[in-house]
Amino acid sequence: MESTATRSSTRTSFDPKRDRLLEEIIQGLTDFPKTLPSKLFYDRHGSELFDRICELEEYYPTRTETRILHENIAEIVELASAQHALLEFGSGSSLKTRILLDQLPGLRVYIPVDISVDHLMQTVRNLSAQYSHLDFKPTPVDYTDSDTLSSTHWDQNQILAYFSGSSIGNFHSDQAIEFLTNVAALIGTEGSLLIGVDLQKDVDILNRAYNDSQGVTAAFNLNILAHVNREFGGDFAIDCFEHYAYYNSDAGRIEMHLISKADQICWLAGNQIEIAAGEMIMTEVSYKYTLDGFAALAMQAGLEVRKVWTDTDNLFSLQYLALQPHGGE
């Protein structure tokens, strides 16, 4: 192999969260097969690219979930009428959330949670003028980190948690159960969870959604390397990689990868990373569920599906969950 660049310098300052993430990155890139944590997608540019993905013709989840929200908002409001705080995981631009902010009658607090600080604060600035009656509590944390999530507290006991899009599919089943268990602890007996769950469907629809004709998803995927280079001193040559996404029918999930176009030696924080031509780095999974399959998963986290709304083509579902009565006994 020939090196694509020289050894890059490393930072000397200590940041425990950053250092843990760097360890996770290095571990993933030295494992086989190689992986990168999907949380790295959401720097400022990545968040902007994802907003563009949500507007693409091929990408059905956003517009389908939005339509489900609009068509069923009266019933959703009736179920969640007692909730005073809206806690949103991965709030992004909060476009769909406006439907809830407009309609929930007793809402007093909005708690957007997002890993991208810049994107989060811009969203709060955009919303605060329109919803001046709400108490905004932006929370820039990594909600995929169980320790961070379980140690983050809000002085509320009537929370509607909202996890939109197909984001629950980005967790493997054990991770999804752990995340939902933490959510159950946060919402308690007086709260509830409104969650988007992508459904199993025709493979061609899925493959087109993650391989759009404009190449926005490819740019989003490749941007993860730009983020690593900028924030962690990596020297990955982005033009030496290409985007690859496909539906793994055996696992029931979309997989996104970066494929190396050549033998490479890259450096990251003093660590040598050897990557062979054709070798793949997995950057994301997105599991697609059946309704029964997700209900069974939620039960393992102590949650019960109370209501499900779908579109007419059964592409996507929006589900309302609460704690199982008596702990599921």
How many residues appear in the chain? 329
What is the average pLDDT across 82-95?
Answer: 82
What pLDDT score does 5 carry? 39
Is residue 136 very low, low, confident or very high in pLDDT (cuts 50, 70, 90)? very high
What pLDDT score does 18 carry? 84
Domain regions of the chain by residue span: 16-55+217-287, 60-201+289-328
Asked which of 42-56, 133-147, 226-240, 253-267 is least confident by mean pLDDT, the reply is 133-147
Tokens standing for 108? 């007093």
Q: Between the ranges 82-96, 118-132, 160-174, where is the mean pLDDT highest?
A: 160-174
What pLDDT score does 184 carry? 93
What is the average pLDDT across 119-130?
Answer: 87
pLDDT at 310 over 60: yes
Q: Prior bond to 33 cis, omega within 30? A: yes
> What confidence tens digit (pLDDT) does each residue in 44-60 have?
899 899 989 999 999 99
- Output the average pLDDT for the chain: 90
What pLDDT score does 14 carry? 52
Does 90 or 200 have the greater pLDDT score? 200
pLDDT at 1 over 50: no
Does 279 or 141 have the greater pLDDT score? 279
Quick count: other Cβ atoms within 10 Å of Cβ 249?
11
> What confidence tens digit (pLDDT) does each residue in 93-118 have?
667 889 999 999 889 999 988 877 88
Is residue 15 very low, low, confident or very high in pLDDT (cuts 50, 70, 90)? low
- Contact present, 316 and 198 (Cβ < 8 Å): yes
Quick count: other Cβ atoms within 10 Å of Cβ 113?
23
Tokens standing for 75? 């019933």
Which CATH number does the domain 60-201+289-328 belong to among 3.40.50.150, 3.40.50.10880, 2.120.10.80, 1.10.3720.10? 3.40.50.150
Is residue 260 very low, low, confident or very high in pLDDT (cuts 50, 70, 90)? very high
Q: Is the dihedral of CA 10, 12, 15, 19 positive or negative?
A: positive
Please give the share of the chain, as a percent, with pLDDT higher than 90: 72
Calpha distance 50→93 (Å, rounded) = 10
Residue where the block lists tokens 């005073």? 84
What pTM was estimated for this model as a whole? 0.89
What pLDDT score does 204 carry? 97
pLDDT at 9 over 70: no
Strands (E), 45-144: 85-89, 109-113, 135-136
pLDDT at 91 over 80: no
> What confidence tens digit (pLDDT) does each residue in 19-77 have?
889 999 999 999 999 999 998 998 889 989 998 999 999 999 999 999 999 999 999 99
Calpha distance 233→25 (Å, rounded) = 12
pLDDT at 213 over 60: yes
Calpha distance 74→105 (Å, rounded) = 11
What pLDDT score does 266 carry? 95
Element (H, E) at 76: helix 60-79
pLDDT at 13 over 60: no
Classify burial at 8, counting beta carbons within 10 Å of its beta carbon; exposed 0-12, middle 13-18, buried 19 or more: middle
pLDDT at 257 over 80: yes
Does 310 or 19 have the greater pLDDT score? 310
